[in-house]
Structure 1
């Protein structure tokens, strides 16, 4: 029988480490088929996400479409200085933050509540019908959704205003009234996307161990207590993940939705960074300034994701990384 001394064991350990260092890609060779499947996605990211980032240099130039990036004049931070002293942009930034915060406060908790309630439904047919009805709007484009609500809320022939008038009220110009338009944005966003967001939480709830609920029932816990003490803590990681992602898109504010629904009358309360970039970049052909605005939005979004993750890790004990 071969006996290995402590000295011999110590001598062999470095040999194993050297072997591991000698083959750093051994794991990749073992799972080469999985890495091969990831190649199309990586190529997509490289071509459509990272390659266009070269165009960010336009933000530091007086860009001319006739001269191109190579021959356009470099102006340093000129467009960023213009950005921070512009009263119009400050109003746009304020609108973006307000609309995003309204959506975060009113719409973020609802999918969690809907998922918990759907999980408690025992009649599968009814549950499937409800799920289908609330998921369906997600697959409808904002162009169609915008047209639908414009017709429903129209002063001339809209069903909602017809009901208001029949009850003795005055017609409401939902898409013209500064005090109402943001509420319309929040409501239509919720109508379209709540069902889709619910899927994530339903998937998280389905992974909760049923034995926890059985033990709670034996201890006399009511449904409300089971939801509060079992369901919510079990999906806390998913909630934190979704919250951080929401914070990261805080400055996006639903650009496509607003482009479809707003008009010059409500620019003062509805113009957000995305629509402002569209109007300035394409409408006024000020490509350098609009690129500077877009770069500012991206940097702030990155900072928000990092900050949100740090705060969740510090105060909630959960984070993405």
Structure 2
């Protein structure tokens, strides 16, 4: 019996050999760029010298972690990272959820498709392009200030050098860039809701709002849960590319994050071991958040992501 099962398994693998070959480049890419660099984490426990390499650099234990945790700029960068990432995660789920529910109620298919296309477009642009647009829009003589001056007789505001406004611009622009992608995912989940549930709700006298509240939202909860868990995995990734291209020293107090601190340590300051230690710290914290969120989802709703 065991030999029969083994033989059938071999035949199944042979039948799907083309799919496995197609998967091979992705496996190699992931192994080379995601798993192989993990060996470099040994730098976090060394006083790494490029000329000496991993094998001959001095092992210093947890000294690098002590160094980064006692840095004057670490605490502020950690707080900024957590605040920015927290609001990005919440709003990147909430805004697309509201938008997808609204689009689901639209009767005209051409209007729905047009809105989906428009909100999806920013997702395909790099932050180098979008940052240039945002810097022009929020400049002291940019579009926003011109509108405020000409139509509302308000004084221009230096948005890009103000700690009061710059963090909000960073969060809002990131949500704007990614909301199209999440909206499409949530709309796909909504279209898979069984139509019989809506019919039963209408028979029971439910209004459109009650159908959304008691049928649509519970049905797409698994997709919302997946997006939440994936988002919590990046709780300390507040958007390095975005902040790097929009950053200026006057707003360091509110938008300096761990990634920009790592950049200054490792690339600009050549402190490779300290940068590796901070990267490892970020990864451990993200792993803890993913584990906790997954455990809560499993216990409260018996939902498995994997």
With the shorter chain as reference, the TM-score category is: over 0.9
Query: Given the alignment of the two structures, is residue 190 of structure 1 paired with residue 175 of structure 2, yes or no?
Result: yes
Equivalent of 2:138, from 141, 147, 153?
153
- Count of residues in correspondence between the two structures: 305
Which structure 2 segments of 5+ residues have no match?
Answer: none
Q: In 1, distance between residues paired with 2:142 and 2:50?
A: 45
Query: Given the alignment of the two structures, is residue 58 of structure 1 paired with residue 43 of structure 2, yes or no?
Result: yes
Q: Residues 23 and 223 of structure 1: is their aligned pair in 2 closer, same or farther, counting only changes over 3 Å?
A: closer
Greater shift, 130-139 or 35-44, is seen at 35-44
Partner SS for 1:169: coil
Query: Given the alignment of the two structures, is residue 308 of structure 1 paired with residue 293 of structure 2, yes or no?
Result: yes
Over residues 255-307 of structure 1, what are the superposed CA-to-partner deviations in whole Å (9 max), with x where a residue is unaligned?
Answer: 11111111111111111111111111111111110011011111111111111
- Contact 2:92 2:178 (C-alpha < 8 Å) held by counterparts: no
What TM-score do the two structures reach when normalised by structure 2?
A: 0.94
- Contact 1:241 1:319 (C-alpha < 8 Å) held by counterparts: no
Which structure 1 segments of 5+ residues have no match?
Answer: 1-15
Q: Residues 69 and 22 of structure 1: is their aligned pair in 2 closer, same or farther, counting only changes over 3 Å?
A: same
- Counterpart in the other structure of 1:249: 234
Find the structure with the greater CA-based Rg: 1
Q: In 2, distance between residues paired with 1:151 and 1:33?
A: 49
Greater shift, 218-227 or 292-301, is seen at 218-227
User: Shift of the alpha carbon at 1:248?
Assistant: 0.4
Q: In 2, distance between residues paired with 1:52 and 1:284?
A: 21
Query: Given the alignment of the two structures, is residue 97 of structure 1 paired with residue 82 of structure 2, yes or no?
Result: yes
Write the mapping of 1:196-275 to structure 2, written as runs, cut at 5 A: 196-275=181-260
- Contact 2:48 2:58 (C-alpha < 8 Å) held by counterparts: yes
Q: Residues 307 and 26 of structure 1: is their aligned pair in 2 closer, same or farther, counting only changes over 3 Å?
A: farther
Q: In 1, distance between residues paired with 2:248 and 2:260?
A: 11
Equivalent of 1:69, from 44, 51, 54?
54
Query: Given the alignment of the two structures, is residue 88 of structure 1 paired with residue 73 of structure 2, yes or no?
Result: yes
User: Shift of the alpha carbon at 1:28?
Assistant: 3.3
User: Shift of the alpha carbon at 1:171?
Assistant: 1.4
Aligned-CA RMSD value: 1.8
Query: Which structure would you say has the larger RCO, counting Cα contacts within 8 Å and 6 or more residues apart?
Result: 2
What TM-score do the two structures reach when normalised by structure 1?
A: 0.90
- Contact 2:46 2:61 (C-alpha < 8 Å) held by counterparts: yes
Q: In 1, distance between residues paired with 2:17 and 2:30?
A: 20
- Contact 1:201 1:235 (C-alpha < 8 Å) held by counterparts: yes
